[in-house]
Each structure stands twice: as structure tokens, then as C-alpha cells.
Structure 1
């Protein structure tokens, strides 16, 4: 009889497995049978696990659990807030959960970190000596338009009111692996600051620039001259401007760039970056809780800006978000009380996990654009907008209502534009992108004579014939309007393209009770991107109350509002196409039963 002894050595230290690590177990042949083998093992302090009929050298084999692979994503940086930056890398605990991040790490893996791309933060200053910013700070690319000097350092006050620019800049270019705060989206970018305000205004052109710069402009009186100088600051060298500010989000303001600022924006996209155009990334606004509409903000509503809204950690539309047709895409930010916020640098060489609002969304988008431009520096400003339109992701935000598909096949939503910005998809597309051709315009006048009168609680319909329009595919559609009305906030408006796509240009704003109307105001929609413009366009402007208050205090909704409510509560299907078809069927039934004619505006 043969007995085989497998001797197991009890290790008293930890063993670090390598790719070909051998175990502390072996097989040995002992003559004399089981009793002899047991006695020998006992005397040597080993254990006999019994006879075996076959033996093979055993080595450690790498095996992974079939859950979410927790690889080096979690441990790649030693920065303390890296684990809080859920919007940059995948932090899911299960692959069954939706992937809620901008897929930035996949771009880093391709070798793109924003190096060589200049991003300017126009804000209230930049704490350039911050531990997480000073390595990337570019003093030659910074300016203070409040105090008219080259130092954009913020003014300290007891409330730390001027922390905004430092927070926004950190999102873009915090240094990686320095054991401080977090990691910027374009973490190898250098950073500068610009402080905007007014004492006197002087232009300054930096001799050389790195990746990210800043302008101090908001800590003081802001006038058209200050804005224009900031927007036109060194556009030859600056690739991306990031702006997380605008007119008041009070639900009643209608304001935008004046003559000088408008000319500066146009100059930036025509002369910036050697004629390719600087990219202006703009926060869409935080006035949702007050019923504001970002198409009443002429900065977010400019075709020269890339307007960005927010989305919560759970992919929901935040309470502060504004709906409008000019928003191109969404980036993550704060949401409900239980949702995480954005982590970044803060004043006094500190860090924060509490950056919020679309102020936090725009810098993330600007950082993504920096990665894209590093991948393909030849992109023009319109190419960047095309990439946003065609690559933004609907899926992470699909649980929100309001998604529609235009005639070019693009999904759009007044809350999120074309979806969540996907850094990886944008970079992949940019590497193989063919630049768009020359920008052309087609101007149309309404077929009916103006002026026209709009009565209270009625609607006005204007038709535009674009049969002879030479454009092949649409990008931006603007509606220039000069309208006087007794209560501006009672109006809403939508535009219907020749293909039947409807885009809401204006939602009712309950707080806007002014009688000033819209004086030479321009509305913008990007919802019709890629469509054929030829055919009949219809603009509808309406004053219809959402409901009537009855004698007993109850609200009586009109048929159209009821139809709106039902359409907005169509069940959320897994496939957007099914939901879209169901909404169309439901809309048709409501028209037949309730209205008898098509008076239902899009939601």
C-alpha cells in the first residue's frame, strides 16, 4: 500500500500573491502506510490530509468575482476626495445599477488629460496659491478686471463669498496624486484666474499660456465693457472659456449680453484659436424653483455658447434646473438632499464636497471639452457642439419625462438638451471627425403681415416658408421677437419644424408680471439639430391660463392642461421608442376626446 502525505505549512506571515506564486503545500510519498505518515507529520508539526491518487504542482491563479470589478479605479489616486468624485469614475456597487459618471477615466486611459489646452475660468477670482492649484497655475494667463492688475487672487471676506471661481477651477484642473483635495477632469492642465468687475478696464494679452486660466470679473460692478473685455481676453490662445454666471435667476428677468459683449462672443468664435473659434461653456441657470426659463438668459441662449444644465447623482432633473430649448447637454451636479455633490478646491487652501448647481456642471463640461480638444486640436467651435449633440447619452437620464426624437434621429429634452455629456464617446468621435463646412444662414419673414394682435387667453400663429432655404441641415434656429404684452410671464411659445418636430421656446413664468414684453429678444432652439429646414415653419405664441379658480376654491384645468398632465405621466418604458409611440397614441386620443383639434403644445 502506498500512502501520500500532503504537508501544509502554517504560515506566520502574509504572503503577497504574484502572477506565478507557489503555495506552502506539497505532496510527498511515504512508505509504511497511513499510520507512519500520520506519525511523521505529527513529529514535524505538519498535517496529513490523507492519501491522494493524483498530484500536480499548485499555483495561485487570478480570479475575479463576477460583480463590479473594483480595480485600480478606486485606488489610482491618493487624493483624499477622489473616492467622492462619483461623476468622474464608476463607483457602482453592482453592475445591475446604472452607470452614472462622465466616463472620464476611459479618456485618461487613452492618454488625454487636457495637456496643452487652455481653459479660462471667468469668475470672482482664483486662489492660485492653493496646494491643489498652484502647480498648474499660469500667472501669464490670468487677469483681474476688478482691480486692473495681473493677479486674480480673490478678495477674502468673513462669509467667503468669493469662493466660486476657485471651486470651478478646481473641477477642471486640480493636480492629481498630491494627497490634496481631488482630481480635475483635465488634471494636467495649468490654471489661471480672471476676476471680473470694474474700476477701469484694460486689455492684457498673455505672452504664453498653458492649459487653464482664469479671469477675475464678478467681484464688483459688472457692465458691458467688463464682460466684453473678459469674453475677448486673449482668444487667440484660450481654447475654452468656462462661465458659471449670468443674469438673475429670479423667474422674472429677461437679460443677456449687450452690444459689446455680443460682439466679443462673435469675435471669440470667429477669431479664437487661429480661426477655429474659442469654445464658450455656459451654465444654464438655477432658477427652476422660481419657474425661470433659460431662454430668457441671452448668454445661455446664444448660439456661440454651449449651454449646460445639471443632473443629480441619481440621474434626475434637479429642483433648481431650468427647462429651455437652448440647452445642449447636461453634466452632473447636486440634486436632492441625500445626493452627493461635487468635490473640489476651496478658499484658504481647503477642500469641499459641497459645490452645487449648474455652477458645478459647466466646469465639468469645460474639462471634458479640454480633453476632446487635446485629442483633436483642429476641431472648430461648431464641431465641438456637433460632437456634444451626437454623442451625449440619453440612457442615464431616461427616467425623466420629456424625451422626444427629432426628424434627424436625435433624442432631446428641454431639461437636458441631447443628454449627459459622455467624455469617452466624444473623444472617440473626435479622433475620426471630419470638420463641418462653412456656417450658412437662412433668414425668414412670416408670411402674414405684421404687427399682429394677441388677445388675452388666445393664441397667435405665424407661418414661415423655408421652401427655398439652401441649408442642408440645421444647427441653431433663432426666433427674433419684438412683442408688447400686458403680462409677459403669461406667455408661452413653441416652434414647429417642417418635419413636425415641436420645440418649446418659452414656458410661462408666474413671477414675471411685467408689462414690458419682449423687446427685440432672440429665442434659440437646438432641438431641431440635423433636420432639413425646407418647408413650412409654424410659430405659436399663446396666453392661456393653466387653470381657473372656481367659487369653491378648486382649480379647474382646461382641456389642454389636462392633456399635458396625462401625457407627462405616460409609464416609463425600458425602451424610449415604446414610450414615444405610447405618448403619440395617448396624445391622439386626447385630441379626439377632449379637444377635437390639435391645440396641445409639447411638454
Structure 2
């Protein structure tokens, strides 16, 4: 998203951070708390007041540190903290002023630079300051846009002096890293400083617990003032000395300018809060990152800037060349590093996308608790320890620790007559040279009487610690002085080696492979569960995990070796991920991704709202719950292999092959296409849709439905499942429909359908004379509703038979069977025949006929509930009523025996008693056979011979 803040267009630094607007579509730092350790914060500022959190104020000596800037004399830079706060989290998209990097994060000011603050940084005894640092655990991220000029000051900056400020501060940083964020560690961001000196001369920047940030200008080259060194982690925009970064100022005339905003903020003081804002975005994207994870991600995602790698000459602002360390999992090889820039320019886009993906391949947070540490102990340099004038001394030491490096503390004890004419290097076992001291920092006599100093190394991430290290002293100016190197201790920090490798790729693969084409091959040789991490890549990726296959990342083709890599995660592009024979986990990220799978155990991970994604499976496959994959296809759709596909609770589109597939969309409103073959569809959502081929290619297809369902065209069979009362509706074809144990309604629609309701009180809708209804005895009370003439089949226990609409006027004739049926007509002229069994016949309005055409017995007595003398007729089949001629019943054959004084004679065959409604047939008049009751007229209507018709 593009914020609507009026000064956003002037914030050039935001456009140097990768595609931050894309990140703002997803994250703004919401829920992340940032402590601004500075000169106070103008929390009433219109761009800061909605972001300010006063509930996290630090308390020192019982006093709440009110964040107001100090206006007392000597605090002319009291606008400084407000500027830093705006860079971190000035409210975005509020049509006001500027935008912070994480404009949804919360801010709390901690005034350590105000001279009247009880936590004043420069107090001779900084107990209050250290107390405030101790309370950094209140925050997820802290920003320190301050530092001391590197100078190797033993009483102030030396980590080996326990009473020195730097050592005491380092101890607090260690505590905060171990205990902040519930043990995940507060992330501490620190400015490198603005002295154009080596940060190793200040113990505050040496400690591994803080992120040391250098500054660069708008052209990407390091700012001329920015401190440098082997413990710089990365760079962010800071602008040149005159300053051009736009941010918040103290409101009104109290600040650096006369308005609420300033356009001349600069320095590593600007670079650090930009990184702090980026970290807030990362932590919102993945709240489970440990503090060490954050540092690793920033290093992996930072981009090359300044002079090109491999150049023979660097710019005037730069003090160092770029180099590449000997790691082997970043863009096909080692990581670029410069003492000027650290690992490079902050890339917010890459850092946040990598943070999101981190949980897949690094689910255990890297914290103080699980950090691996190895120390050689304090070793005495035996043998030659002389640093000759105008020459060099190499001293080696062997490290046996099996670990992968993140940080190294190298403590050296030496003396030299002119510290400014000594360069100190460390060579890793894998051959990377690290410049620890270049003679620029400190005084000529800093080591004249001996110096024990700890140098921090952040440039060896990803290298192995084990092997022979070399410490090199180079005397750069003959005929001045010499020295001695007496003691060394190497302390390595990192992780245990693992065969579970993660190969990280970014858009910089293009630049790095141009330097070394060997980066375009990938072969894992040590087993384990391995990952390709291309989450930070902005374009489309084609990741083929098959051995010997071709993978394309950032537009570069990578040859895959014979080693097996099991898993991959890609970024925002429309990516294609191809599985191999292993158990794969594939994460496509945003974009319209396609997965090609060959095993039912392959896992696809897709979050909602991250594009329209497709899985193509060459085996039967089930989508895991919660994975937002829209389309699931069987590979080779023209083939005849049986591939069964199962969706999940979301809306899926499934497509089979020309074979006999089982397609189950899951609980969402799914579309299932079977193509050819005898397919089975599982329908569990009323909005599920099935699509079948017509003609001879479509096969005989079946829907298994646990919800009421209407069959789509060219689907032949329907089976209702479960126990719910469901309605099953056919189509124009001859359907076979089977109910469940509930009370179903089965409606065949059009074709010659076969319907079997099973248990439950079922209702059948008939619209074709050829419809067949199957109901076994004892399976509920069942009914048929017919829109055509219909006769119940023999042997089917169906209790009721009726027309589909009582108000209809169509002449629909209904015939029961040998069971006791209740038969009901409509408003038309119906012929109703109960057949065998004690039936109940209701004609409703219309001129209805009640037909008796089955053998008479005491078990075959029908009730006519609504006989109308005016309209209705009783029809007698001459095959049963053998004494009658076809036509209107002769008057002499009928007698109402209910009339007073009525007597029967030998001619009376149809006897009626209007008092009871009983209707009898006496086949031989007054002969030996008794009259047989065959019907009861419930209305007790006054019948005459004219109400009977012999057919």
C-alpha cells in the first residue's frame, strides 16, 4: 500500500529498503513494543501520540522516567529521540506528516540523554542508566541511536575490565537478551557511531547481543562519518553529514526546526531506528523468532551496496573492500561482507519474507538458552611471539569445537610501540581474512605498555569453527617500533552442525553467480531433511527437487545434483514447486503457485489470501486441513489411472482423469470434475458442484452425499450417507438413488429412475411411469408423490401414495400394492386403486373413481374418506366382480340395507349400509356364499346403483 501522508514522497530512505509497500499490505508492526532509549520523545506529537504506550515507562530509583525531552541548558539535541521515534513508528496513512517503517508498532520513550534524567548515560556512576538498560525486557525491540567514540579506553570501553562501562553494559545486554520476550530475547539495535573509526575500539559494539548498524547515503555508498569494523552487522540509510532524512521533530518551535518535522536528520542515529522498525515488522510476521534468529535473518537478507564486489579500488568514503566468506548455503556459496557495510543494506522486504518462512525450517527459536559456546581458554603464545618492525607475525591456534559460527570474540594480549602502525587480522580455518584493527583507531601509545582487548567478529556467519585459526600482526611502518603478542582466547558462538541444511536464495543470486558460476549448482551430500529457502525472492521461481532437475530462482537456472533435498519455500511470485520421491514439504508463499506432487505424504503449505494455488498430483492425494489451495488436479487428465482426490474445509476445485476417480471436495463449496470413467463424488456441502462428461466417455458416476443434493447432468447414481433427513434429486437421466437411515425425499426427475430409501420415513417423488421404488418391509413409513399415473411395485412396503400437488387438476391414476396403502389424489379426475391390503383412499375434489380390481377378503377392505355422490364413482373390475356386465351397474343389483325395512333378495349383489358406510359384494345373492365387505364409505354417503361402474 502507498500511504497518504503528505511528506511520504520526501522520505527517500524508505525506497532504499526493498519493496516496503508490499510488506505494509501485510504488516505494520502492530502489537510490537519498541523502547526508544534516547533524549526523550515528544509523545504529544500528532504523528506519534497514537503510537505512544505510557504503560511501559521505565522506573529508576522509584521515579518513572517521563519521556519529555530535557529543556535544561546543555541539552540542545533534545529533538534527537523524537526524530528516531518517527523513523521507527510515525503513524502511517493518516494524512499527516511522515511514515515510520513500522507505523503500527507502539513506542515508549526512555530518556537517557537528558542531563537531569536519573538514567543519564554519561553520569559518572551510571547505575541509573544501567537500571534502565536492565528494564529493556519491557520491550520487544530497543533502539539506541547513541554511542561513544571508539578509542580503546581501558577504563571505559574495555570488556576485559569488569568495572568498565562497556563491560557493565554488556552484562546488562546479555541479561536482556536472555530474559526479554519471555526468553526469546529483546532485540537490541545500536548505532555504530559517527566518527569514521573502527567500532572494535568500543566494547559496546563488540558484544554479540546488540545489532551494530552503519549508515549509507542516498546513493548507497557508506556515509563518510560512519564507523566500521568486523562487528558491524548491516547498514541502513543515514544520509551525508548535512542530513536529508525527513522525520518527526519536536512540535512547534521547541525542536530542531520551527515546524513539527525536520528534513535534516542524519547519521547512524537515523540508520539504527530504521533497522528497529524493520525488526518490528519481522516480529509481527513471526513473533516466535529468537534474538539470534533476527540477527541471522538480517544478515542473510541484506543486499550488496557501494563499490562492486571484487573491485580493485573502493570509493573515498569506504575504508574496506567487499569480500565473501566461506559459508556454503547463501545463494550457492558464501556471504558477502564488508567492514564498512556489514552484510549490506537493510532489505525490509527480504527480511520480513524470510522471517515469515523461518518457522518452516527453523521452528526452534535461537536464543541465549540454546546458544552453543566454545572457548579455547586464555592461551599463552609459545615460541615466536615477536612482532618485528616493518614485518609480520603469524600465530596459529587449533579449535576442535564442532559448530557453525554466528559470532566470534577474539581476546588478544599484546604490546606495541605504535598502535597506529599495526594491522591485526584473523584468518578462519576456511581461509576468510578478517580485519580486526587497521591502525586508525586509538592513540599511538594505546598498547605501548600492553593491551588486552576483545575484538568482535560478525563476518564469519555460516563458517565452521573447527580447524586452524591464524592471528596475524602486521607492522605497517618500518623503523618505528616493534612488539610482542603474548596471549589469545577465542570464544566462538553459534549452533551445532546438522545434516538438516537450509539453502537460502535471494534476488542477489544474479549478482553472485556472475562472480562465481559454481553457485548455480546445488548438491546436498550429507543427508538430513533439507530446505531451499527462496522466500525473499521477488520474482517467479521454478523449484524442481528431482535429482538432476533444473531449478530457476531469480531468473537463474540451478543444476540440481544427485543429493536429495526434501523441502522448499518460495516467495511472492507465481511459483512452480515440483516434488521428488522423498517426503516433501512445499511452501509457495504468495502468488498463484503450482505444486506437482508424486506422493500422498507430500505436504503443501498455503495460507489464506496468498493467491490462487493449484496442486497437480500423479497419485491419490488429500489436501491437509487449513491449507488454502484452490485447485486440486490429477496429473495426465487424459490417462485412465485411478487417482482419488480429497479437498479440505475450504472451497476447492477438483479434477480427475479419464479413469475411475473418487473426488471428495471436503467441507467447502467445491467443484468436482470427473472427466471420463466411473467416478465417485463425495458431496458434503449444499453448494458443492459436480461436472461430468456426457456421452459414452463419462462413465457410470455416483454421488455420495451427506447433504441434500441435486444431481448434475450426466451423473447416474446418488447415495445419501449419514443419518440426517436429506433430499436427493436426480436429473434427466435414469438415476439410481439410495437413501440413508434418515427420513429422505428422493426425486428422480425425468428419467426411468430406481429409488431405494432404506430405513427411515422416506418420500419418493415420481415423474416417470418407469420409475421403480424399492422399500423392504420394516424400513419406516414411506410415501410416494407422483406427477404421473403410477402403480406401486409388488413387494415394496410403501405406506402412502399421492399426487405431487393437491391443487393439481391433472388426471393422475394411482395404484397401490399388497400392503396397506394410503392413496390420495388431487383436484383432477383420479382413478385410485388400493389393490390388496387395507387401503385408505382419498380423491379430494374432482370426479374421482375408486377402483376395486383385486381379490376380496377380510384383509383387503379399503376406506374411501371423501366419496361424493355428485362427482365420484366406484369402479368394479368384472374380473373380480364376475356377476356383472360391463357398464353402469344395473339398478336391481344394488341395495342399501341400511334403509328401514330393507330386505335382500337373490338379485342383490352390491350391498351397502349407509349407517356404517360398509360396502359388500355377495356373489350369489341369497346363496351359500356370504357377502364380503370390501370397502367402507367414511362419509356414509347415500349411494345408489348409479354410483357404480363395472369395468
Per the normalisation by structure 2, the TM-score is 0.44
The SS at the match of 1:300 is helix
- Which of 481, 502, 508 aligns to 2:412? It is 481
CA distances 1:231-272 after superposition (whole Å, capped 9, x unpaired): 21150x311111111112579897264443222111111111
- Which of 129, 137, 149 aligns to 2:52? It is 137
Equivalent position of 1:588 in the other structure: none
Pairs within 5 Å for 1:56-71: none
User: What is the deviation of 1:201?
Assistant: 9.2
- Which of 149, 153, 172 aligns to 2:64? It is 149
The SS at the match of 1:432 is helix
Distance 1:510 1:270, change over 3 A: closer
Equivalent position of 1:285 in the other structure: 193
Kept in 1, the 8 Å contact 2:395–2:472? The answer is yes
The SS at the match of 2:174 is helix
The SS at the match of 1:464 is strand
Kept in 1, the 8 Å contact 2:419–2:442? The answer is no
Does residue 375 (structure 1) correspond to residue 285 (structure 2)? The answer is: yes
Distance across 2 between alignment mates of 1:462 and 1:167:
47
- Which of 62, 69, 76 aligns to 1:160? It is 76
CA distances 1:79-108 after superposition (whole Å, capped 9, x unpaired): 23211111213xxxxxxxxxx334322211
Distance across 1 between alignment mates of 2:425 and 2:37:
33
The SS at the match of 1:135 is coil
- Which of 349, 357, 378 aligns to 1:432? It is 357
Distance 1:538 1:580, change over 3 A: farther
The SS at the match of 1:299 is helix
Pairs within 5 Å for 1:59-458: 73=2, 76-77=3-4, 79-89=5-15, 100-109=16-25, 111-143=26-58, 148-156=63-71, 160-196=76-112, 217-218=120-121, 221=123, 223-235=125-137, 237-248=138-149, 255=157, 257-288=165-196, 292-335=197-240, 341-349=244-252, 350-394=260-304, 398=308, 401=314, 402-408=321-327, 409-433=334-358, 434=362, 435=364, 438-444=370-376, 446=379, 448-449=381-382, 452-458=385-391
Kept in 2, the 8 Å contact 1:123–1:217? The answer is no
Equivalent position of 1:37 in the other structure: none
Distance across 2 between alignment mates of 1:378 and 1:119:
16
User: What is the deviation of 1:299?
Assistant: 1.6
Equivalent position of 1:499 in the other structure: 430
- The range that moved more, 421-430 or 477-486, is 477-486
Does residue 530 (structure 1) correspond to residue 462 (structure 2)? The answer is: yes
Equivalent position of 1:469 in the other structure: 401
Kept in 1, the 8 Å contact 2:39–2:114? The answer is no
Distance 1:224 1:579, change over 3 A: farther
User: What is the deviation of 1:470?
Assistant: 2.2
The SS at the match of 2:13 is coil
Kept in 2, the 8 Å contact 1:224–1:259? The answer is no
The SS at the match of 1:442 is strand
Distance 1:176 1:469, change over 3 A: same
Equivalent position of 1:6 in the other structure: none
5+ unaligned residues in a row in structure 1: which ranges? 1-71, 90-99, 203-215, 549-573, 582-603
User: What is the deviation of 1:461?
Assistant: 1.9
Distance 1:513 1:439, change over 3 A: same
Kept in 2, the 8 Å contact 1:194–1:217? The answer is no
Structure with larger RCO (C-alpha < 8 A, sep 6+): 1
5+ unaligned residues in a row in structure 2: which ranges? 159-164, 253-259, 315-320, 328-333, 481-509, 518-951
Distance across 2 between alignment mates of 1:544 and 1:328:
28
Kept in 1, the 8 Å contact 2:70–2:116? The answer is no
Kept in 1, the 8 Å contact 2:241–2:267? The answer is no
RMSD: 3.0
Distance across 2 between alignment mates of 1:426 and 1:440:
24
CA distances 1:367-424 after superposition (whole Å, capped 9, x unpaired): 0000000110100000001101111111576478412111111111111111111111
User: What is the deviation of 1:509?
Assistant: 1.5
Larger Rg: 2
Equivalent position of 1:33 in the other structure: none
More helix by share: 1
Distance 1:436 1:412, change over 3 A: farther
Distance 1:450 1:80, change over 3 A: farther
User: What is the deviation of 1:507?
Assistant: 1.1
User: What is the deviation of 1:127?
Assistant: 1.5
The SS at the match of 2:131 is helix
The SS at the match of 1:460 is strand
Distance across 1 between alignment mates of 2:441 and 2:231:
21
CA distances 1:181-228 after superposition (whole Å, capped 9, x unpaired): 2011111122211112699998xxxxxxxxxxxxx644x626442342
Distance across 1 between alignment mates of 2:70 and 2:89:
21
Distance 1:450 1:192, change over 3 A: farther
Distance 1:526 1:450, change over 3 A: farther
The SS at the match of 1:281 is strand
Distance 1:103 1:450, change over 3 A: farther
User: What is the deviation of 1:153?
Assistant: 0.5
Equivalent position of 1:48 in the other structure: none
- The range that moved more, 358-367 or 392-401, is 392-401
The SS at the match of 2:12 is coil
More strand by share: 2
Kept in 1, the 8 Å contact 2:102–2:280? The answer is yes
Kept in 2, the 8 Å contact 1:224–1:260? The answer is no
Between the two proteins, the alignment pairs up a number of residues equal to: 449
Distance across 1 between alignment mates of 2:86 and 2:178:
29
The SS at the match of 2:135 is coil
Per the normalisation by structure 1, the TM-score is 0.68
Kept in 2, the 8 Å contact 1:144–1:195? The answer is no
User: What is the deviation of 1:576?
Assistant: 5.5
Kept in 1, the 8 Å contact 2:199–2:206? The answer is yes
Distance across 2 between alignment mates of 1:271 and 1:519:
33
Distance 1:144 1:80, change over 3 A: farther
Equivalent position of 1:66 in the other structure: none
Distance across 2 between alignment mates of 1:547 and 1:313:
43
Distance across 2 between alignment mates of 1:396 and 1:456:
35
User: What is the deviation of 1:366?
Assistant: 0.4
Kept in 1, the 8 Å contact 2:222–2:306? The answer is no
CA distances 1:35-71 after superposition (whole Å, capped 9, x unpaired): xxxxxxxxxxxxxxxxxxxxxxxxxxxxxxxxxxxxx
CA distances 1:463-489 after superposition (whole Å, capped 9, x unpaired): 1111x2121x11101101223333333
